Amino acid sequence: MTAEPPSRAAPQRFFIVVGTSALASGAFSIDDIPSTGGRIDVLLRCVRAALLCSHGVRRDAAIVLVLCGGSSAPRTLRIDGLTAKFLRPDERSLGALVKKALSAPRRDSDEVRPGVFVRDGGLDVALAWIGDVTLYALEEGAPDVREAAMVGGPRAFVLGDHRGFDEATKALLASRGARSVGLGPVSVHAEDAITIVSNELDRRGPTALSDERA
């Protein structure tokens, strides 16, 4: 179960969201995602923010959801903008995609649908999976991302869910040398934090967008 995603164009920006209670199985109802999915709705909105913009898919971006809720936890789900198909912006469609991916039978490959991958394990697995990147932890009160000198090459930004980071997550990120960055004085929703970071990166360099309508 360790086949790597295609490396022909590795993502340049990763967003990793730690879902403290988000269900690690597909046993949630599409008709009531928040209460049956352990607030996996928070993470679904992060998928939209990370991978979709108006009329396009961010081909150079990937999102990694660390799912820590339920008896199957922890599991990690990754979606690559380059190869994922049929990404829609609404929560219900993204919920259906994630539900199917988490319910897919185990095969030789981690790729359960085009561009969608599932592995057992939590944040440590997610960090190993994305390889050699510059790691940033999004934390309220940290030095402003606008002032941060960002080195080139692939970058990963780690975010908390509605509860923020627990102590174990903070310790793991610190042990991996994550640089803490903040987004200004207001605590925003995780998906909004992703939009702010995406905008900051867009302003600093070329962005790979598809012309596909989302």
Give the residues lining the site for ligand SAM (CB under 6 A).
138-140, 159-160, 162-165, 182-184, 186-190, 193
Structure tokens at 213: 């309508």
Q: Which is nearer to ligand SAM, 82 or 156 (CB)?
A: 156
- For residues 83 and 115, the answer to whether their CB atoms sit within 8 Å is yes
Which H or E run contains 79? strand 75-80
Q: What is the DSSP letter of 164?
A: B
Q: Estimate to the nearest angstrom the gap between the alpha carbon of 114 and the chain centroid.
A: 16
Q: State whether the Cα torsion 66-69-72-73 is positive or negative.
A: positive
Shortest Å, Cβ 161 to ligand SAM: 6
Single out the residue of 11, 39, 53, 14 nearest to residue 138, CA to CA.
14
| Phi, psi torsion values for 181, nearest 5 degrees | -130, 150
Residue nearest to ligand SAM (CB): 164
- Our CB check for ligand SAM shows the closer of 95 and 182 to be 182
- To ligand SAM, the closest distance from the beta carbon of 104 in angstroms equals 28
- Minimum distance of ligand SAM from residue 71's CB (angstroms): 25
- The minimum distance between CB 154 and ligand SAM, in angstroms, equals 19
Q: Which is nearer to ligand SAM, 36 or 180 (CB)?
A: 180
Q: State which residue, 83 or 169, has the beta carbon closest to ligand SAM.
A: 169
Least distance in angstroms from the C-beta of 137 to ligand SAM: 7
Q: How far apart are CA 12 and CA 119, in angstroms?
A: 21
- The CA angle 109-112-118, to the nearest 5 degrees, is 80
CB nearer to ligand SAM: give 115 or 182: 182
